Amino acid sequence: SWPTVAIVGRPNVGKSTLVNRILGRREAVVLDEPGVTRDRVTYEAQWNGRDFHLVDTGGWDVGVKGLDKAVAQQAEIAISLADVALFVVDANVGATASDEEMMRLLRSSKKPVILAANKVDSERAEADAAALWNLGLGEPYPISALHGRGVGDLLDVLVQAL
């Protein structure tokens, strides 16, 4: 079966925007049963001729303080089912307590993690991405899910990890 990538991160960092960017104009195929796993939606994606499943962990209220229990649970399930985790952080905001909490989940899963530093909309913002080296997850890949900046390079790295 196809390898699975789980997109995780606290609410509002741009996970769903990144999913849409990766899927492009292609019709997203929703594989999960609605109502059963409505907080985890799986899409079929492709890059460099490589097929993979992309799991968006979403559907929570924005503005929740700390890492909501439901968010953590969904992320944990998604990570456990995934081959690789794509961890999205808002580079403009930097790493928050919720990001640190998500990192603990990722560490305990022992799955490979690729760190996407999102909302790097301009070259000027790349210093914000570099600050995320501090998370200890290796190289932060600066992207703008909104504008597409850096997403190709991120996907090159991602499919090599599959």
Taking the complex as a whole, how short is the minimal distance between the CB of residue 149 and ligand GDP, in angstroms? Answer: 8
Q: According to the binding rule CB under 5 A, does residue 42 interact with Mg ion?
A: no
Give strand pairing partners of 50: 47
Task: Tell me if 99 is assigned to a ligand binding site.
Answer: no
Query: DSSP label at 96?
Result: -
Q: How many whole angstroms separate alpha carbon 127 and alpha carbon 142?
A: 9
Q: How many whole angstroms separate alpha carbon 83 and alpha carbon 78?
A: 10
Q: According to the binding rule CB under 6 A, does residue 98 interact with ligand GDP?
A: no
Per partner kind, with CB cut-offs from 5 to 8 A, the member of Mg ion, ligand GDP, none near residue 119 is: ligand GDP
Q: Which stretch binds Mg ion (CB under 5 A): 8-16, 37-45, 104-112, 132-140?
A: 8-16
Burial class (CB in 10 A: 0-12, 13-18, 19+), 5: buried
> 16, 42, 74, 109: which one contacts ligand GDP (CB under 6 A)?
16
Contact 87, 110 (CB under 8 A): no
Q: Which residues bind ligand GDP (CB under 6 A)?
A: 9, 11-17, 58, 118-119, 121, 144-146
Q: Which residues bind Mg ion (CB under 5 A)?
A: 15-16, 58
